[in-house]
């Protein structure tokens, strides 16, 4: 029902418009949230814009699908925090249907010894809960949170603006001077921010960026359970361990968001994550953008004489002409599959090919007939505080997380995987039948190509799924028997279904060598590409992955800037 509504509401009229219009100002390849965001900003500026989505519904990885009757799953992404406040405000997403459901408490870590840890936005709760494990840590935790808040504030201006990338090609003297002034202003602002941060905190910030999450957390805390709970933010979506240098930045990346002005708070979205994409698409369509589903792009059309993009060719043979093309696909799919190699510089082509697209992520979406009963808590029929936030399974120590990662490095799906469990239906009564629930399991670590076995083998897949369910049974006896049905997405499934190269949810690794001026590759971080008229607007660009909207917004501003110069 959800899928049909999304498809028909965005597809039929626009398909007719696609056939009738001779040339568009801009074509967006991919109807994920970043592509929709770019389309909204471009359409609001008066451009004729069409979004082409390969699947039967929009949203990309931020999508809601009813795979089991009555149960609506946030099939890929499952929580909201990183969507930029500027996007929410400027596109008026609240007016277009976005409703955030804040979680309090936001985190629950059960222990096999009968203890547990609850964390959330309530400072008194945090102090009380952490004191069960360490009084020292309880006193230190507010300082830790305050320092991360400072770092996040420093990052805000970097997230909401394009990088100060080097200009390419022949430029007029005026363009060169404006570019120098822009870069000078950018770096002066960064210096001003660093001075406001102070030398002590600036050094701590650099230490966080370069260090393993384990080093950062060991320097702050002594309790294994607290450190492991916080460390999950340093590895989610990656193939790295808590001991991997640079995982400290990944930890920061996952706490730099906010919900309705509250920093670091992750929310459920009423109706599932597809409601985020739906709200953005409503804003885009209100501004005049057209969105077409079941429209797979086969290749870019390139003018042989000028070497500029002039539209795209669909798999059904339809030619869609445009002055500008924005790709919301991964850098690999864009340049290795949609653009002929002969039109790209060899060095650029090689750099795109060698981006780290590896993934250790599997997502399992479950329909259950009852809430899990954790043995460390009193039995309850209704949802308790332990059911509201993210439930951390198999992460009572950082060494447990590291061992799970090492299994995957050796080609094995983790024997005791790291599991983030969420139960959005405890706050959202629109996604499951009364008395039943939707559960998301975000699981690490699972190699793209196991050394023994294959994800194409149904018995191999089922074996790993049961391993995850059995691990949850250790903490919540009887959980397995509550399962009505499930949907499982391994790294190859994520690649095949959502176009995520290698199954990487970030469109490419978020290591320090793949951020800011190096994202997606060195020299081409500013959304422009070596092919004139072609721009990137997906998570493979600055500032990176997650449901942020920043790449789409920033890319649209760069396109508008270039079009203004050409007039």
Q: Is residue 344 located within the same domain as residue 362?
A: no
pLDDT of residue 5: 38
pLDDT tens per residue across span 17-57: 676 678 999 999 999 999 999 999 999 999 999 999 999 99
Is pLDDT of 170 > 80?
no
Q: What is the 3-state secondary structure (H, E, C) of 133-193?
A: CCHHHHHHHHHHHHHHHHHHHHHHHHHCCCCCCCCCCCCCHHHHHHHHHHHHHHHHHHHHH
269 CB-contact burial (10 Å; exposed 0-12 / middle 13-18 / buried 19+): buried
Q: Is residue 500 located within the same domain as residue 416?
A: yes
Q: Is residue 33 located within the same domain as residue 67?
A: yes
- Lowest mean pLDDT of 57-61, 178-182, 419-423, 560-564, name the range: 178-182
- Boundary of a domain, candidates 492, 508, 524: 508
pLDDT of residue 253: 84
Q: Is residue 446 located within the same domain as residue 299?
A: no
Q: Is residue 255 located within the same domain as residue 395?
A: yes
Is pLDDT of 6 > 70?
no
Averaged pLDDT for residues 394-403: 94
- The helix (run of H) or strand (run of E) holding residue 276 is helix 274-286
- CB of 129 closer than 8 Å to CB of 117: yes
pLDDT tens per residue across span 264-306: 788 999 999 999 999 999 999 999 999 999 999 999 999 988 8
- Boundary of a domain, candidates 489, 508, 527: 508
pLDDT tens per residue across span 211-231: 999 999 999 999 999 999 999
pLDDT tens per residue across span 105-160: 999 999 999 999 999 999 999 999 999 999 999 999 999 999 999 998 888 888 99
25 CB-contact burial (10 Å; exposed 0-12 / middle 13-18 / buried 19+): middle
Model confidence at 10, pLDDT cuts 50, 70, 90, reads: very low
pLDDT of residue 254: 81
Side-chain half-sphere CA neighbours of 169 within 13 A = 9
Model confidence at 9, pLDDT cuts 50, 70, 90, reads: very low
Averaged pLDDT for residues 507-525: 95
- Lowest mean pLDDT of 82-91, 106-115, 257-266, name the range: 257-266
Averaged pLDDT for residues 398-424: 97
How far is residue 380 from each of residues 142, 244, 263, 394, measured CA to CA in Å?
A: 31, 40, 31, 23
Averaged pLDDT for residues 78-96: 95
**For strand 107-110 and strand 116-119, is the pairing parallel, antiparallel, or unpaired?**
antiparallel
With tokens 């023994």, the residue in question is 452
pLDDT of residue 20: 66
Q: Over the chain, what is the mean pLDDT? A: 93
- Boundary of a domain, candidates 469, 488, 508: 508
Q: What is the CA radius of gyration of the chain?
A: 23
The distance in angstroms from the start CA to the end CA of the chain is 46
pLDDT of residue 7: 39
Side-chain half-sphere CA neighbours of 220 within 13 A = 26
Q: Burial letters for 530-540: b for 16+ Cβ neighbours within 10 Å, e otherwise? A: bbbbbbbbbbb
Residue 513, φ and ψ in degrees, nearest 5? -85, 5
How far is it, in rounded angstroms, from Cα 373 to Cα 476? 5
Q: Is residue 61 located within the same domain as residue 160?
A: no
Q: Is residue 335 located within the same domain as residue 366?
A: no
Work out the percent of the chain whose per-residue pLDDT is above 70: 96
- CB of 9 closer than 8 Å to CB of 309: no
How far is residue 91 from each of residues 98, 196, 201, 287, measured CA to CA in Å?
A: 11, 31, 34, 10
- Lowest mean pLDDT of 176-185, 202-211, 362-371, 428-437, name the range: 176-185
How far is it, in rounded angstroms, from Cα 218 to Cα 566? 54
Work out the percent of the chain whose per-residue pLDDT is above 90: 82
Is pLDDT of 83 > 50?
yes
pLDDT of residue 173: 81
How far is it, in rounded angstroms, from Cα 247 to Cα 250? 5
Q: Pull the structure tokens for residue 165.
A: 């990338």
Q: Is residue 373 located within the same domain as residue 342?
A: no
Give strand pairing partners of 393.
419
Supply the range of the domain harboring residue 78.
2-97+270-355+512-566
How far is it, in rounded angstroms, from Cα 474 to Cα 545? 33
With tokens 């492991």, the residue in question is 228
Averaged pLDDT for residues 173-200: 88
How far is residue 261 from each of residues 79, 85, 267, 388, 550, measured CA to CA in Å?
A: 16, 8, 12, 20, 17
CA nearest neighbour of 106 among 263, 277, 270: 263
Averaged pLDDT for residues 481-497: 97
Contacts 24+ apart (CB under 8 A), 454-460: 455/490, 455/491, 455/492, 455/493, 456/492
How far is it, in rounded angstroms, from Cα 549 to Cα 277? 10
What's this model's pTM, rounded to 2 decimal places?
Answer: 0.94
Q: Is residue 168 located within the same domain as residue 312?
A: no
How far is it, in rounded angstroms, from Cα 126 to Cα 106? 11
Q: Is residue 308 located within the same domain as residue 365?
A: no
Number of domains in the chain: 2
How far is residue 230 from each of residues 153, 161, 235, 407, 421, measured CA to CA in Å?
A: 20, 29, 10, 21, 15
pLDDT of residue 262: 76
Is pLDDT of 355 > 80?
yes
With tokens 């708070």, the residue in question is 265
Q: Is residue 367 located within the same domain as residue 258?
A: yes
Is pLDDT of 13 > 60?
no
Q: Is residue 186 located within the same domain as residue 297?
A: no
Give strand pairing partners of 419.
393, 443
Is pLDDT of 16 > 80?
no
pLDDT tens per residue across span 298-335: 999 999 888 899 999 999 999 999 999 999 999 999 99
pLDDT tens per residue across span 416-474: 999 999 999 999 999 999 999 999 999 999 999 999 999 999 999 999 999 999 999 99
């Amino acid at each position: 029902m959800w899928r049909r509504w999304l498809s028909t509401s965005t597809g039929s009229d626009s398909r007719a418009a696609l056939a009738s219009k001779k040339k568009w100002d801009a074509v967006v390849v991919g109807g994920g949230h970043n592509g929709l965001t770019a389309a909204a900003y471009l359409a609001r500026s008066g451009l004729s814009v069409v979004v082409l989505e390969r699947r039967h519904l929009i949203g990309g990885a931020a999508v809601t699908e009813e795979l089991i009757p009555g149960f609506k799953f946030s099939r890929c992404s499952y929580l909201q925090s990183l969507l930029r406040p500027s996007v929410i405000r400027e596109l008026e997403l609240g007016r277009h249907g976005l409703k955030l459901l804040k979680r309090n408490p936001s985190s629950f870590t059960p222990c096999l010894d009968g203890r547990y840890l609850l964390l959330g936005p309530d400072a008194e709760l945090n102090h009380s809960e952490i004191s069960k494990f360490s009084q020292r840590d309880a006193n230190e935790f507010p300082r830790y949170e305050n320092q991360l808040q400072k770092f996040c504030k420093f990052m805000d201006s970097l997230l909401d603006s394009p990088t100060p990338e080097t200009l390419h090609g022949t430029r007029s003297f005026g363009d060169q001077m404006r570019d120098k002034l822009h870069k000078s202003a950018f770096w002066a602002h960064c210096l001003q921010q660093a001075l406001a941060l102070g030398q002590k905190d600036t050094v701590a910030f650099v230490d966080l960026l370069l260090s393993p999450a384990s080093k950062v957390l060991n320097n702050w805390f002594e309790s294994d359970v607290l450190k492991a709970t916080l460390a999950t933010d340093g590895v989610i979506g990656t193939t790295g361990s808590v001991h991997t240098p640079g995982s400290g930045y990944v930890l920061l990346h996952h706490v730099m968001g906010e919900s309705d002005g509250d920093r670091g708070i992750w929310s459920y979205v009423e109706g599932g994550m597809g409601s985020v994409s739906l709200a953005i698409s409503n804003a885009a369509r209100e501004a005049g953008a057209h969105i077409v589903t079941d429209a797979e792009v086969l290749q870019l059309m390139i003018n042989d004489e000028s070497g500029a993009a002039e539209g795209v060719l669909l798999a059904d043979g339809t030619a869609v002409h445009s002055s500008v093309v924005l790709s919301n696909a991964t850098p690999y799919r864009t340049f290795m599959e949609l653009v002929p190699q002969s039109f790209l510089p060899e060095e650029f082509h090689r750099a795109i090919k060698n981006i780290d697209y590896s993934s250790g992520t599997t997502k399992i979406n479950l329909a259950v007939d009852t809430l899990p009963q954790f043995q460390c808590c009193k039995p309850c029929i209704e949802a308790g505080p332990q059911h509201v936030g993210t439930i951390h399974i198999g992460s009572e120590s950082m060494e447990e997380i590291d061992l799970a990662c090492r299994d995957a490095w050796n080609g094995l799906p983790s024997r005791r995987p790291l599991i983030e469990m969420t139960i959005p239906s405890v706050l959202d009564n629109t996604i499951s039948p009364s008395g039943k629930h939707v559960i998301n399991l975000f699981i690490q670590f699972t190699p793209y190509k196991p050394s023994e076995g294959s994800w194409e083998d149904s018995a191999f897949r089922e074996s790993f799924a049961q391993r995850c369910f059995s691990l949850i049974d250790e903490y919540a006896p009887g959980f397995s028997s509550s399962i009505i049905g499930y949907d499982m997405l391994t790294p190859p499934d994520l690649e095949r279904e959502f176009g995520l190269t290698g199954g990487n949810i970030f469109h490419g690794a978020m290591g320090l060598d793949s951020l800011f001026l190096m994202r997606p590759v060195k020299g081409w971080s500013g959304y422009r590409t070596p092919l004139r008229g072609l721009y990137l607007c997906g998570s493979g660009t600055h500032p990176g992955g997650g449901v942020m909207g920043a790449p789409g917004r920033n890319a649209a501003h760069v396109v508008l800037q270039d079009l203004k110069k050409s007039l």
